[in-house]
Amino acid sequence: MADQINGNQPSSTKHWPRLSPLQTGLRGRCPRCGEGRLFDGFLTLRKGCDVCGLSYEFADPADGPAFFVTCFACIPAIALALIIQVKLDPPFWVHLIVSLPILILTCVLPLRPLKGWLTCSQFFYKAGEGQLHKPRD
């Protein structure tokens, strides 16, 4: 209704350009319009876009961001901590100053951009729950 009052087309009939899920997701923007916010807080998805009205009910990135962070960030960070321990055998406080901040930075910071990218990719590729169809006799 507000769109019609302002002279704009309703969001259901408006043509939206195809936006890259990488660009919109990494910035935490709406996958349809690229302007609205995707997150409410650090990792909580909003109910919908505050600009175009797209509902984010389709989004279910599940454990994808945590999996990618574990594989590509946590494992190398842990390996670095183990190398420091084996080669230098430092006191425990050295790991608190060196290894712990590296682990926190490599584990926490990539979560939001990865979750945004996976969510926007689900919209872009129209991902949905798989369904099995019974073959016809």
Burial 101-129 (b: 16+ CB within 10 A, else e): ebbeebbeebbbebbbbbbbbbbbeeeee
Query: Mean pLDDT throughout 46-58?
Result: 94
12 occurs within a structural domain? no
107 occurs within a structural domain? yes
Query: Mean pLDDT throughout 31-49?
Result: 95
Spatial neighbors of 16 by CB under 8 A, at least 6 apart, are 32, 33, 52
pTM of the model: 0.77
**Which pair of structure tokens corresponds to residue 61?**
């990135």
Alpha helix positions (H), 37-91: 64-69, 75-88
Residue 63: other Cβ atoms inside 10 A = 8
Provide the residue range defining the domain that includes 37: 17-124
> What are the tens digits of pLDDT across the range 81-114?
999 999 999 999 999 999 999 999 998 999 999 9
How far apart, in whole angstroms, are the C-alpha atoms of residue 93 and residue 55? 48
Describe the crossing of helices 75-88 and 99-108 by its angle, rounded to 10 degrees: 170
Say how many domains are in the chain.
1
120 occurs within a structural domain? yes
CB 11 within 8 A of CB 52: yes
93 occurs within a structural domain? yes
132 occurs within a structural domain? no
46 occurs within a structural domain? yes
113 occurs within a structural domain? yes
8: helix, coil or strand? coil
4 occurs within a structural domain? no
Q: Is 100 left (phi over 0), alpha (psi -120 to 50) or beta?
A: alpha
Query: Mean pLDDT throughout 48-54?
Result: 94
